[in-house]
Structure 1
Amino acid sequence: MSDTPPATARAFTGACHCGAVQFECSLDLSGAIVCNCSICSAKGLIMAFAPAEAFRVTAGEDHLNEYRFNRHVIGHMFCTTCGVEPFAKGEMPDGTKIAAVNVRSLKGVDLAALTPAPYDGRSA
Protein backbone atom coordinates (compact mmCIF):
# COMPACT_ATOMS: atom_id res chain seq x y z
CA MET A 1 0.00 0.00 0.00
CA SER A 2 1.42 3.38 -0.93
CA ASP A 3 1.36 6.58 1.13
CA THR A 4 -1.36 8.05 -1.07
CA PRO A 5 -4.96 6.89 -1.15
CA PRO A 6 -6.15 4.87 -4.16
CA ALA A 7 -7.37 6.81 -7.19
CA THR A 8 -10.98 5.80 -6.43
CA ALA A 9 -10.81 7.23 -2.91
CA ARG A 10 -13.01 10.18 -1.99
CA ALA A 11 -12.70 12.74 0.79
CA PHE A 12 -15.14 12.42 3.69
CA THR A 13 -15.76 13.99 7.04
CA GLY A 14 -17.32 12.16 9.94
CA ALA A 15 -18.07 12.29 13.64
CA CYS A 16 -19.34 10.34 16.59
CA HIS A 17 -23.02 10.76 17.55
CA CYS A 18 -22.56 13.77 19.84
CA GLY A 19 -20.00 15.45 17.55
CA ALA A 20 -17.24 15.63 20.17
CA VAL A 21 -14.98 13.46 17.98
CA GLN A 22 -14.61 14.61 14.38
CA PHE A 23 -12.37 13.37 11.60
CA GLU A 24 -11.58 13.59 7.91
CA CYS A 25 -10.39 10.82 5.66
CA SER A 26 -9.96 9.70 2.11
CA LEU A 27 -11.20 6.21 1.34
CA ASP A 28 -12.88 3.98 -1.22
CA LEU A 29 -16.34 2.88 -0.12
CA SER A 30 -16.40 0.10 -2.74
CA GLY A 31 -14.13 -1.83 -0.36
CA ALA A 32 -16.53 -1.58 2.59
CA ILE A 33 -17.13 -4.70 4.65
CA VAL A 34 -19.59 -6.06 7.21
CA CYS A 35 -17.61 -8.15 9.67
CA ASN A 36 -19.23 -10.90 11.72
CA CYS A 37 -16.85 -10.70 14.70
CA SER A 38 -18.48 -10.25 18.08
CA ILE A 39 -17.92 -6.48 18.36
CA CYS A 40 -18.77 -5.52 14.76
CA SER A 41 -21.92 -7.66 14.91
CA ALA A 42 -23.03 -6.16 18.21
CA LYS A 43 -22.45 -2.61 17.00
CA GLY A 44 -23.74 -3.07 13.44
CA LEU A 45 -20.55 -1.63 11.99
CA ILE A 46 -19.90 -1.17 8.28
CA MET A 47 -16.17 -0.59 7.89
CA ALA A 48 -14.06 0.94 5.11
CA PHE A 49 -10.30 1.32 5.25
CA ALA A 50 -7.93 4.22 4.77
CA PRO A 51 -4.15 4.34 4.98
CA ALA A 52 -3.15 6.06 8.24
CA GLU A 53 -1.81 8.99 6.20
CA ALA A 54 -5.28 9.53 4.69
CA PHE A 55 -7.03 9.77 8.09
CA ARG A 56 -6.94 12.61 10.62
CA VAL A 57 -8.84 13.36 13.81
CA THR A 58 -9.79 17.05 13.57
CA ALA A 59 -11.49 17.47 16.96
CA GLY A 60 -12.01 15.58 20.17
CA GLU A 61 -8.85 13.51 20.50
CA ASP A 62 -9.28 13.98 24.27
CA HIS A 63 -12.77 12.39 24.05
CA LEU A 64 -11.42 9.12 22.64
CA ASN A 65 -10.78 5.91 24.50
CA GLU A 66 -9.57 2.59 23.14
CA TYR A 67 -10.94 -0.93 23.52
CA ARG A 68 -9.00 -4.04 22.44
CA PHE A 69 -10.19 -7.62 22.64
CA ASN A 70 -9.33 -11.11 21.40
CA ARG A 71 -5.80 -10.86 19.93
CA HIS A 72 -5.56 -7.13 20.83
CA VAL A 73 -4.48 -6.11 17.32
CA ILE A 74 -7.26 -3.60 16.59
CA GLY A 75 -7.70 -0.46 18.67
CA HIS A 76 -11.44 0.22 18.62
CA MET A 77 -11.72 3.95 19.34
CA PHE A 78 -14.90 5.23 20.94
CA CYS A 79 -16.19 8.56 22.19
CA THR A 80 -16.24 8.72 25.99
CA THR A 81 -19.27 11.04 25.84
CA CYS A 82 -21.70 9.19 23.52
CA GLY A 83 -20.04 5.76 23.22
CA VAL A 84 -20.03 5.62 19.41
CA GLU A 85 -17.06 4.02 17.64
CA PRO A 86 -16.32 6.26 14.65
CA PHE A 87 -13.14 4.39 13.72
CA ALA A 88 -10.54 1.84 14.75
CA LYS A 89 -6.78 1.72 14.32
CA GLY A 90 -4.86 -1.30 13.11
CA GLU A 91 -2.32 -2.72 10.71
CA MET A 92 -2.49 -4.70 7.52
CA PRO A 93 -0.70 -8.08 7.49
CA ASP A 94 2.35 -6.34 5.96
CA GLY A 95 2.50 -3.87 8.88
CA THR A 96 1.01 -0.89 7.04
CA LYS A 97 -0.96 1.24 9.51
CA ILE A 98 -4.62 1.81 8.64
CA ALA A 99 -7.79 3.38 9.95
CA ALA A 100 -10.93 1.26 9.84
CA VAL A 101 -13.67 3.86 9.49
CA ASN A 102 -17.25 3.22 10.62
CA VAL A 103 -19.08 4.17 7.42
CA ARG A 104 -22.21 4.91 9.47
CA SER A 105 -20.32 7.83 11.05
CA LEU A 106 -19.49 9.48 7.70
CA LYS A 107 -21.45 12.54 6.62
CA GLY A 108 -23.38 12.45 3.33
CA VAL A 109 -23.17 8.71 2.63
CA ASP A 110 -26.23 6.91 1.23
CA LEU A 111 -25.97 3.62 3.09
CA ALA A 112 -28.68 2.04 0.91
CA ALA A 113 -26.45 2.54 -2.15
CA LEU A 114 -23.58 0.52 -0.63
CA THR A 115 -22.97 -3.19 -1.09
CA PRO A 116 -20.47 -4.04 1.63
CA ALA A 117 -18.82 -7.43 1.34
CA PRO A 118 -19.16 -9.93 4.17
CA TYR A 119 -15.99 -10.63 6.13
CA ASP A 120 -15.58 -13.62 8.43
CA GLY A 121 -13.86 -11.94 11.35
CA ARG A 122 -15.33 -14.49 13.73
CA SER A 123 -13.01 -17.14 12.27
CA ALA A 124 -9.99 -14.86 11.72
Structure 2
Amino acid sequence: MKRTCHGSCHCGAVRFAAEIDLAAPSLRCNCSYCLKIRCWASQVPATAFRLLAGEAALSEYRFGAGRERHYFCRHCGVRLFSRGDSARSGAFVGIGVNCLDDMSAAALARVPVTFVDGLHDEWNTPPQETRHL
Protein backbone atom coordinates (compact mmCIF):
# COMPACT_ATOMS: atom_id res chain seq x y z
CA MET A 1 0.00 0.00 0.00
CA LYS A 2 1.36 3.39 -1.00
CA ARG A 3 1.79 6.13 1.55
CA THR A 4 3.37 9.56 1.59
CA CYS A 5 6.81 9.41 3.15
CA HIS A 6 9.03 12.36 3.98
CA GLY A 7 12.80 12.42 3.93
CA SER A 8 15.78 14.68 4.29
CA CYS A 9 19.54 14.87 4.35
CA HIS A 10 21.51 14.97 7.61
CA CYS A 11 21.66 18.77 7.91
CA GLY A 12 18.04 19.28 6.80
CA ALA A 13 18.84 21.54 3.85
CA VAL A 14 17.16 19.13 1.40
CA ARG A 15 13.69 17.74 2.05
CA PHE A 16 11.39 15.62 -0.10
CA ALA A 17 8.11 13.72 -0.10
CA ALA A 18 7.21 10.63 -2.13
CA GLU A 19 4.37 8.19 -2.58
CA ILE A 20 6.07 4.89 -1.76
CA ASP A 21 4.80 1.34 -1.50
CA LEU A 22 7.05 0.03 1.25
CA ALA A 23 5.60 -3.46 0.81
CA ALA A 24 7.17 -3.52 -2.67
CA PRO A 25 10.76 -4.73 -2.84
CA SER A 26 13.48 -2.16 -2.31
CA LEU A 27 16.81 -2.56 -4.07
CA ARG A 28 20.36 -3.26 -2.93
CA CYS A 29 22.90 -3.24 -5.75
CA ASN A 30 26.49 -4.43 -5.99
CA CYS A 31 27.72 -2.02 -8.69
CA SER A 32 30.88 -0.06 -7.90
CA TYR A 33 28.94 3.07 -6.83
CA CYS A 34 26.14 1.46 -4.84
CA LEU A 35 28.63 -0.75 -3.03
CA LYS A 36 30.63 2.28 -1.87
CA ILE A 37 27.57 4.19 -0.61
CA ARG A 38 25.72 1.08 0.62
CA CYS A 39 22.75 2.17 -1.43
CA TRP A 40 19.31 1.02 -0.32
CA ALA A 41 16.69 2.42 -2.68
CA SER A 42 12.97 2.34 -3.16
CA GLN A 43 12.10 3.05 -6.76
CA VAL A 44 9.04 5.17 -7.53
CA PRO A 45 7.68 6.75 -10.71
CA ALA A 46 9.10 10.25 -11.23
CA THR A 47 5.58 11.66 -10.79
CA ALA A 48 5.42 10.23 -7.23
CA PHE A 49 8.37 12.33 -6.00
CA ARG A 50 8.33 15.96 -4.82
CA LEU A 51 11.36 17.99 -3.81
CA LEU A 52 10.09 20.19 -0.98
CA ALA A 53 13.21 22.25 -0.19
CA GLY A 54 16.87 22.56 -1.00
CA GLU A 55 17.17 22.40 -4.77
CA ALA A 56 20.08 24.88 -4.60
CA ALA A 57 21.83 22.63 -2.04
CA LEU A 58 21.86 19.62 -4.36
CA SER A 59 24.89 18.45 -6.30
CA GLU A 60 24.77 15.79 -8.99
CA TYR A 61 27.04 12.85 -9.70
CA ARG A 62 27.02 10.60 -12.78
CA PHE A 63 29.31 7.73 -13.68
CA GLY A 64 29.68 5.07 -16.34
CA ALA A 65 27.12 5.60 -19.08
CA GLY A 66 25.67 8.52 -17.09
CA ARG A 67 22.11 7.23 -17.42
CA GLU A 68 21.32 7.80 -13.77
CA ARG A 69 21.78 11.10 -11.94
CA HIS A 70 22.66 10.73 -8.25
CA TYR A 71 21.84 13.71 -6.01
CA PHE A 72 23.48 14.56 -2.72
CA CYS A 73 23.47 17.52 -0.34
CA ARG A 74 26.51 19.72 -0.97
CA HIS A 75 26.51 20.74 2.71
CA CYS A 76 26.43 17.41 4.58
CA GLY A 77 27.23 15.00 1.73
CA VAL A 78 24.23 12.68 2.17
CA ARG A 79 23.02 11.00 -1.04
CA LEU A 80 19.24 11.32 -1.03
CA PHE A 81 17.93 10.08 -4.36
CA SER A 82 18.70 9.39 -7.98
CA ARG A 83 16.77 10.05 -11.18
CA GLY A 84 16.78 7.84 -14.22
CA ASP A 85 14.82 6.59 -17.17
CA SER A 86 14.87 2.96 -18.24
CA ALA A 87 13.09 0.90 -20.86
CA ARG A 88 11.94 -1.44 -18.09
CA SER A 89 10.44 1.10 -15.66
CA GLY A 90 10.25 4.46 -17.44
CA ALA A 91 11.18 7.69 -15.64
CA PHE A 92 11.92 6.88 -12.00
CA VAL A 93 13.35 8.22 -8.77
CA GLY A 94 15.40 5.89 -6.58
CA ILE A 95 14.82 7.16 -3.06
CA GLY A 96 17.35 6.46 -0.34
CA VAL A 97 15.29 4.43 2.13
CA ASN A 98 17.81 5.40 4.80
CA CYS A 99 16.80 9.07 4.30
CA LEU A 100 13.14 8.54 5.23
CA ASP A 101 12.41 10.52 8.40
CA ASP A 102 8.95 9.29 9.32
CA MET A 103 9.70 5.56 9.41
CA SER A 104 10.40 3.67 12.60
CA ALA A 105 13.23 1.15 12.79
CA ALA A 106 10.63 -1.62 12.99
CA ALA A 107 8.88 -0.38 9.83
CA LEU A 108 12.19 -0.16 7.96
CA ALA A 109 13.07 -3.70 9.05
CA ARG A 110 9.89 -4.94 7.32
CA VAL A 111 10.77 -3.41 3.93
CA PRO A 112 11.53 -6.31 1.58
CA VAL A 113 14.89 -6.19 -0.21
CA THR A 114 15.74 -7.42 -3.69
CA PHE A 115 19.43 -7.77 -4.51
CA VAL A 116 20.50 -6.90 -8.07
CA ASP A 117 23.76 -7.58 -9.87
CA GLY A 118 24.47 -4.15 -11.34
CA LEU A 119 28.19 -4.89 -11.32
CA HIS A 120 27.68 -7.33 -14.21
CA ASP A 121 24.64 -5.54 -15.70
CA GLU A 122 22.46 -8.54 -14.79
CA TRP A 123 19.48 -6.68 -13.31
CA ASN A 124 17.19 -9.74 -13.15
CA THR A 125 19.71 -11.92 -11.32
CA PRO A 126 20.91 -11.46 -7.75
CA PRO A 127 24.65 -11.44 -7.16
CA GLN A 128 26.17 -14.62 -5.74
CA GLU A 129 27.16 -12.84 -2.49
CA THR A 130 24.87 -10.33 -0.77
CA ARG A 131 25.87 -10.32 2.88
CA HIS A 132 28.15 -7.30 2.39
CA LEU A 133 25.44 -5.23 0.70
TM-score normalized with structure 1 length = 0.88
Does the 8 Å CA contact 1:28/1:49 hold for their aligned counterparts?
no
Distance 1:37 1:28 in 2: 24
Count of aligned pairs between the two proteins: 117
* Aligned position for 2:31: 37
1:70-109 → structure 2 map (5 Å cutoff): 70-93=64-87, 96-109=90-103
Runs of 4+ residues over 3 Å off in structure 1: none
Structure 2 unaligned segments of length 5 or more: list them: 122-133
State the structure with more CA Rg: 2
User: Match of 1:20, SS?
Assistant: coil
2:51 to 51, 57, 68: 57
Distance 2:113 2:37 in 1: 16
Deviations 1:59-117 (A, max 9, x none): 00000011000110000001000111110000121572111000000113233222311
Structure 1 unaligned segments of length 5 or more: list them: 1-7
TM-score normalized with structure 2 length = 0.82
Which has the higher mean CA deviation after the structures are superposed, 23-32 or 71-80? 23-32
Does the 8 Å CA contact 2:25/2:111 hold for their aligned counterparts?
no
* Aligned position for 2:5: 12
User: RMSD of the alignment, in Å?
Assistant: 1.3
What percentage of residue pairs aligned between the two structures are identical? 37
